[in-house]
Each structure stands twice: as structure tokens, then as C-alpha cells.
Structure 1
Amino acid sequence: MDELCDADLTSLADRELIDALARLEKSLRRASAVGHNLIVEAVERSLPGKLGHKTVNKLLVGVLRISAADASARVTAAKSLGTWHALSGQPLPADLPETAAAQRDGAIGPDHARAVREVIRKIPHAVSSSDVAVAEQILADLARSATPEDVEKAGHDLLAYLNPDGDLTDGKDRKRLRGIRLGRQDQNLMTPISGHLDPETRAMLEPILAKWARPGMNNPDDPESPTGDAEHPHVDRDKLAAAAGRDTRTATQRNHDAIKEALRTLLGSGALGSHRGLPVTAIITMTLDQLEHATGIATTAGGGILPIRDALKMAERSHPVLVLFDHNGRPLHLGRSKRLATADQRLALIAADRGCTRPGCDAPATMTAVHHVRDWSKGGATDIGVLTLGCDACHALIHDGPGGWHTRTAPEGTEYAGRTQWVPPPHLDPDQTPRINHRHHPRELLQRARRKANARRETDVRRRGELRVPGVSRGERPAEDGLP
């Protein structure tokens, strides 16, 4: 790899360049197969637990500094393609043996394997194991000479062949396939949603949409539109009919607005009780400057963002809480003599930390608990200046055993004074350099990059100035500096 990184590729002929691409791809594919077995070995040695990680996914993120999505994909692939072992030490056949063999040969890549795995996952439980094995062999053979998209398309035909009448799916299949996935917010602050509802969930959702998503109901663009349930006695029928006549929304938009209003009603009802010491409700954080100018974006305790105008609209029905910060961006004193933090302290931490403070963790504030920077059992106080947020998984990493993390408050005079520093264990960083989590404060990373860019620019300007000293030709230095 050192030779390839330093090689002059311009000397390669076209055929040699294509051959190099193909050989490199084969090596990368085989390396993925090695990665599967390394993950298997780490799991079978219980290495994550020994090093203080809750799952092997967390271990990969911490050690390799890869994304959570990448770690999840690698672990999922290792489960079906890696070589696992029985208690006696004997190797077990892979769940997808033909696919695993093709990847070990370098004939297929991770995307091919993922396409095969997704098709096999969708085969109904009632199909015999021998038919499933044949299907996997067919797809693996196809993957050796086709693209992942071709494998996916062929898989659809194969599923139709295995279940032509569509009557083999049972409760086990539905339980396995159920799920709702929220994607990341895009540049328009919109969130994609996908997944599968089981029959019972759909049956409960249908009547809600039938009443709350009727034309004219819950239309945010029409101030005269009735809100809530279309069949409720308080709804004026003539007013609803007029609103329906003005309603230009599509059916999907009406469904969205119905669910939005239903969630608002549910959160306002108090039926959900409390979560981690606070009422279950939407918690939105904005600065005083944003409030005064009605511009910018606010953040939610769940890690989402929304325009200030939308936040102010939600605030019309809210209970405002004012939190004052010092010049380091930390909340001013809120202390108590008991171990558990108050609701006010938690609100202040949500506004300041916005989520788990362990470096690299993206758990939002709604998934965290209040943590004593210095443990309560060791004399730590329940004061706002020495409290922080940590998710349950990261909180479990703080201990005195092997692989344990430690927390402390960044001292005055440092770049992020008052923030929580996490000190990693030696296997992650032999120097155990304290770290700050910037995942919930992206502006800090932008400011740091801007400072570095400005520093480089100033250095370049000074260097160019030195090269233009009168009487010294370009590339030379003054004689008095003692250098040739």
C-alpha cells in the first residue's frame, strides 16, 4: 500500500490502469471478509465488555472512529458472513455460505452481500430451509457476474416464485419485518421516514387518519380550519364544509398534518406522564438573540432542529423557561444538597449540553441522564457547574476498572472552560488526552476550522513578506539569519 500511495500512476497504460482498479477492488473485497472474522473473534472473546463497551458496535466506533451506521453494517454482515464457532471450538457454517465464499474469493463486495442478505431476509418463514439454501446459492452465483442492483431485481422475481400466492407470510415474518425509521434531517430540515407497520398498528392508524385527515381538517395553511377530530361535537359542520372546499392539500399532506395534530394533542394531554424527571413534551432551546430577531434555527432535546419561526409558533402554547449562561456558555449556579438533579437543573443542562457529552456520541438529550462529573459517592456535589448529560450506554463506561473512562470539568483558561472532558482509557489513547464532544455543537467545529484557516493564511502572508525583503532575491534568506 505504501508503494501504491506513492506510485506515479500517469505512466500506466489504459489497460494497466483498469487492471489495477480490478485487482485493488478484489483485495478490498477480501479484506472485508477478513474484517468479518475479526469482528467474530472480538465478540467470541467478549472483548467489548472487557474494554467497557456495551456492544461490539460501540467498540468499533471507539477504536476505528467510524460512523455508527458503518459499524452497524459491518456487524450485521459479520453475523451472516463471518465464521463463528461452537463451544467446542469447531467452526460453524456461515448463515449465507455461498455469499461468504464469494466475498472471500474477492468476486463480490459488501453491496452484493447486502443485496443477497436483504432478499433472504424477506423470504417467508414457511418456505423450507432447503429452498432458502438454493435461493441463496442462486443469488450468490448471480452476484459473481452482476451488479448489486441486478441481484436486488432478481431477488424480487425469486421472492415471487417462492411465494406466488402471497399466503406464506405469517406472524413471525411480520414481527421480524416491522419497524419505523426516522432518517437524518436534510438541508430543508425535512426528515424522511420509512418502515413497515404490522397489521394491528395499521388497523389503529386508519381510523385516526380517516377522522383527522379529512379534507378541511387540521390544515395549518387555513386559519379557519377546524382542529382535532372531525367527528367531535364542537366541530361546526358548515365551517368544516367551507374549509374542505378551500383545501388544496394532497392526501399524503393531509395524513402528515393529521398525525402532527394528533401528536400535539397527545403531548398536551398529560397522558404520557414524565420521562427522566420532566413531563413528556417537546423541549426547544433558542437564544435570546434568536428570540428578539426571530431568525436562525432552534434545537430540540431529541437532537432535531427547526426554524425559529416554527419554534415561536409552538411557543405560543408553551411554558417558557429562562436559563442564564456565563461567558463560557455554561449555566449559572443551580445547586442542591441531594443526589438527584432537579427538573430545572435538567432543563439547564439540555440547553447547554444538548445531548450526551462523551466524545463522538450523538445521543440526544432525551436519551440521557444527569451525571455527576465527580461521582456522588466520592464527594461530588449536585451543582449545575459539575453536572453533565450522559446516555445510559456511555454512563456505564465510567468506572475504575480496565477500559473505564473518567470525566472532569475543563479548567479556566482552556478553550472550552467549564465543559465536560472525558478521559479515554489507555487502549483508545495511550496518552489519555481529555476530549470534548462537539457532535451537538457543530458551530464549534466550524469556528475551529475557520481559526486554523486564518492562521494558515497569516503564516503564508508572513512567509511571502519575508521572501520579498529588499536586496534578497526570491527563495533566498538574509545572510544574518545564519542559514545558507
Structure 2
Amino acid sequence: MRSNDGFVTQRAADPLLIAVAGLLEQPLTALCDDAVTDLLRDIEQAARMLTTMGHRLIVEASDRSLPDRAGEKSLKAFLMHTLRLASADAGSRVNAARSLGTWHDLNGDPVESQLPYTAAAQSAGAVSADHARAIASVMKRVPGSMSNPEYEAAEEILAEFARTGSPDDIPKIGEAILAHLDPDGRLTDDKDRQRMRGINIGHQRADGMSPIHGDITPALRALLDATLAKLARPGMNNPDDPESPSGEYEFINHDTLAAAAGRDIRSAAQRTHDAFTALLQPDTSLDELGSHRGLPVATILTMNITDVERAAGVATTATGGTVPMSEALKLAERALPFLVIFDHQGVPLHFDRTKRLATPAQRMALVAALRGCTRPGCDAPASLCATHHVTDWIKGGPTDIDNETLACDRCHALIHDGPGGWKTVALGHDSKYPGRTAWIAPPHIDPTGTPQVNHRHHPGELLANALARLRARNEHERRQHREWLRTLERPDTDAA
């Protein structure tokens, strides 16, 4: 670029543009498979880091009033016309910069980002713009403000998960955090839920179809989920498959169901529809629904004794939902209770068995303790999981509660000794999570092979850990501040 005095000066982005141009000219056929995977990772990391640079430039453009100088009415319009962006894209970038950028007050002093942990992760290239948007969407619903430790802890949890998880999973993590932060219904209480409940079935159209929509209470959801987990399972009650299992549910052959599931091309919504059709048939008896993955088809509620005593908080279900304690206690009035006792680490006590298949008591203990699939990032509830031997049965692994965990069908299939296979290990007593099942990802996902546990079904422990770190950091800062004040009060011996 030629300056006013005639000299050629280098633009700030010239080294970047030259490097990218050189990279585009490189042939890829000479790269081995691992090199292609590494290059994909590196390019993605660089693109994410450049997104942070984009936030800085948007802040700088605002501080310099560049939109006003260009005759534009807003930052969004400035970006649309300067970079030839679509309206939605320009608006999204401005919103992201407001949440993740470092802005300045009237005195020119920097103001901390609204989402500092997410901003730091994106600056390091660990999270994408989609991650950041999902986190910002969740944080809008978190009660409190940026000065609230629980608010800060929630953002830290989401940002930490985003470093290894998918943006699609962040809303689910957010829902779990919100349920934990609002266990007593401060955001919506029982009266609100009863007011909002309702199912509307619209008029039948000329084609015979009828629309349906509405809102159901947590209690109804818990009751329905337990039944649909079996009746809407792939392969079940398929009207397009004459060999699809139905009817005498107690005596369904496993191989027959597996074969039917392989032929099942229905969507989840279609399976749910067909499950309701089967449930409401005149010859269907709830007593004949049999079992699902070794347990009776029934709503399974797990409650904390402290929450029961104070009639507050929430109970968790085997299908991944939550039920306010007031409704859970009503459901439990006519239920058959099971008592499962855990040690101080939350691990169920031993059930020594020599058979390969887990007993109903063992599975009940796993449901209560683990709540869902243990592979990091997976949100499949316990109702969709099989019992998995951490050390495989054929390799001498016993059917003891110490060697059992939950894994959904999709994740279970990922465990093998071949290329791309996952491995599972039980963490020892010197670990941060003793007794828990950790998964080791294949090298193309995690080259370090670090065992990781799944926190998706335990938002409380994530929140507690984050709050502990924040309290420790704040206490350290207070100690430093007190020490600094003491130094001001001491006489200056050197000067004396």
C-alpha cells in the first residue's frame, strides 16, 4: 500500500493474506491422513481466533465512530455495506462483539466482556461462533447478573463444555443448569405451570389430518416418557413393517427387535405418533408393557433426601427430565419405593454378581447414580442406555457395580479395539471423580488420550466445582488486597 509520501508500507493483514495465499497453493494429495486431520484442526482454530479479531475491529470501529463518518446509521449497516454482508450476518457479528468484545467506558477504560470465559476460549481458537451464540442465548435466561457468582459459574461451565462439546448440545446443558439454579420455581412455579398446561387438537383437515400442540406439566412428561421410551423405540410399533414387535410387549425377542430397528426409517416424531396409536388401542393393557432395558416400564424418580425433607428442589427421571419436588412427592404416594444407598462419592454400594447380565437392582442403582450415558458430551438419558462392562466381560470383567456403567446404543457401538474405537476405564481413588467411568477418545478426537467423564447429567457438581474455583480465586484476590493495604500502613524503613 502506497502512503502519501510515496513510500510503500505494509498493511497489518498482509502477512496473513500472504500466508493464506501460500497455503491455498499447496497440494493436498501429498499429505497423509493424519496430516489432513491436523490441517483441518489448525485451519478451524485459526478461523476461530480471527473471529475474535473481528470483535476487536468492530469495537474499534465503534470507538472511532466510523459508521457516522461513513454516513451509516448503525454498526450493522456499516458492516453490511463495507463487507457486503447479509443483514442477519452483520447483526449477528455486532451482537457477538457486544457479548464477547472488550468495550470502553466514557473515560476510555476497558470494560470486561459480558462473557469473559467464552471470549477467552474463542480467542484461543477453542470455540466457534456457533458455540458463542449458543452460550449467549442460554446466559440471557440465567437469573442474576454478571456480579452474581452463580451467573459467572454458569458461564464458566458452558465455556468449558464448549471446548470439547458440540454447539448443538449447549442448550441442553443450559437447561440442566437453569433447572439447578431455579429448583424451587422462582422463574416458573407450580401455579404458573398449571396455568400454562393444555393440549389443543385442531380441526380435522380435508386430508384427514389434525394438528396438535400444547404444553404439558413435568409430571405428565415423566409419565409419558417412561412409556414412550419403549413404545417409540426404533423398530417398535411400525405400521409399515408387518414384523415390527407389538402386542405382548413382555415377550419381545431381542433379535427380532434389533432386526426391526435396522429396517426402521421413521423419524422420531413418527415413532412417537405410532407409540400413542399403540398405547390407545382397545386391547392394550398397561400391565402388559413388560420391561424396558431390564426394568419395568414405569416412571423412575431419583430424589435427594435433603430435598425431600424440605419439600423443595427437583427429582430427576430416568428419561432425563426433572419434576418439581411438590409434583414428585404426589407421584410417589402410589409408587413402589426402592432404597439405593451411595457412598460419599456418589457411587452405589456393591452388588456382587457372577452373571453377565446386570440385575434389576444393579441397573436401578446405575440409573439413580449416573442418570444417563457416561460418554462425555452425550445427553442420552438412562432410559435409552444399556448396561456396559467397563472392563469387557470377555476380557474377564465381572458383573459388579464397580465394573458397570450406562452407555446408549450409539455410544456403546463406539467401544472397540479397532481404529477409531473408544475405551472406558474406572477412575481410581486418587482421581477427582473416584469410581466414575471415564472414556478415552480415539487419537483423531483427542491425541492426548486423556480420560474424560461426562458431566451432562450432573450439572450440580459442575456448578459446585465452578463456584469453588471462583471463591478460591476471590479469596486469593482479597488476601492480596489486604497484604497491599498492610504495606501502605507500614513505615518506610528505607526512607527513615
Larger Rg: 1
> TM-score normalized by structure 2?
0.49
- Greater RCO, 1 or 2 (C-alpha within 8 Å, sep 6+): 2
- What's the TM-score, normalizing by structure 1? 0.50
